Amino acid sequence: MFRMLSITALRAGYARAMTVRPDPGPTFWSRARWLLKAGPADYMLAMSVASASLPVVGKHLEPLGAATAMGVWGYRHLPDFLGATAKSLLSPGNAELKKQERDSTNSVTEAALRGIVPAKDLAIEWPAPERTPPLWKLREQRRSVYRTSVRYGPRPSQLLDVWRREDLPAEPAPVLLFVPGGAWVHGGRLLQGYALMSHLAEMGWVCLSIDYRVAPHHKWPAHIADVKTAIAWARANVDKFGGDRNFVAVGGCSAGGHLSALAGLTANDPEMQCELPDGSDTSVDAVVGIYGRYDWEDRSTAERDRFVDFLERVVVGRKIAKHPDIFRDASPIARVHADAPPFLVIHGTGDSVIPVEQARSFVARLRAASHSVVSYVELPGAGHAFDMIDGARTGSMTTAIGLFLNQIHRNRSLIKAKKVI
């Protein structure tokens, strides 16, 4: 009995792991080809997805699939991470270089905002570098959480936290919807974006931090569908928490940076929001991408080739050679257009997970096409997830984002006031 259940579960896991949209289902030959080409990671993913489909206990086993997928992702990026770490440790004079990079953070950030943010707003005392990681301030930061686990859609995972001050003024506050990262296999609110949201909440903003569906149990495009659902919810409901439905920005880190950029560039695209009622508003007023991945097509380097392979096996479940449109449509760099909203892109030169060239190429494409403001902050020496582990740069980043978003909000308010007059 157990053996039959295992075989049935494995087949079910395979079928769910290899499809994005409903289709006639895998044939005998497609199963045979998959079994011949599959490696240990593929079998582990199929079994983890299958276990989640079991009655009663299945929903409690979903985290195993995310852990397996994260392990596959980590294994593929391990060579780059180890190489970067070894270079950092063994290079002569590296300690002095790191100090110079840390000390230049505020000046580099201020220079990047010059011409976008007024000089008087930049003439502030920028945060001093801190030795302690931002994660050590979790309890202090979470004081800005106003309401937890608010439902933004009908699915169990469609939940968000509201961050805001208790004494928010009566006038509606601008809104930032924060999308956490996690390699498209983890999309939880825990730990991510705390420094940024607590800073914005103190400035009088309302922040919404969301959970969303992730692979391998939910294939692409479930991720972006949930982000779009959250934006539509904010446009219709955030006033209940003191937010301004007429000003909603979106931002995120890593995979969340990708999803935020894609959401900003595909406003009201029916193919991206097929789960929403007609007429749902998924436009945003600004986008903040923090060490995001903006290209799902490019295989020109060993690192990019490994990344696309990970997408094929874990996130999308389709081969790019047979379904190039799926990967192109999911690439923010391929969706750039003249009417894009204002963008702030932040990336570190020491990022070994998503190399800084990704951000540079994306910003160059945006600046060439968009009529809106495009600001780019390149932090010397900053690595991936620096906003959680690097106290020397996090304060500067949150300050820069606050200045940028406040200026975009101020500009929008002036434009609306002129239209009324």
C-alpha distance across the termini of the chain, in Å: 75
Residue 378's SS3 state is strand
Which position among 211, 295, 351, 390 bears the catalytic label?
351
Look-up of token digits 């290209």: 295
User: Is residue 351 annotated as a catalytic residue, yes or no?
Assistant: yes
Q: Please give the structure tokens belonging to residue 135.
A: 């994660």
Residues 6+ apart with CB under 8 A from 225: 213, 272, 273, 274, 275
Which position among 254, 260, 331, 375 bears the catalytic label?
254
Look-up of token digits 């620096």: 386
For residue 216, is the peptide bond before it cis, meaning its omega torsion is within 30 degrees of 0?
yes
Other C-beta atoms closer than 10 Å to the C-beta of 337 total: 11
Taking a C-beta distance cutoff of 8 angstroms, is the pair 102, 129 a contact? yes
Cα distance between residue 270 and residue 283, in whole Å: 12
User: Is residue 254 annotated as a catalytic residue, yes or no?
Assistant: yes
Taking a C-beta distance cutoff of 8 angstroms, is the pair 116, 375 a contact? yes
Taken as a whole, the chain contains a residue count of 421
Cα distance between residue 399 and residue 24, in whole Å: 52
Taking a C-beta distance cutoff of 8 angstroms, is the pair 393, 386 a contact? yes
Cα distance between residue 267 and residue 247, in whole Å: 14
Which position among 186, 384, 396, 409 bears the catalytic label?
384
User: Is residue 23 annotated as a catalytic residue, yes or no?
Assistant: no
What kind and span of H or E run contains 305? Answer: helix 302-310
Q: What residues act catalytically? A: 254, 351, 384
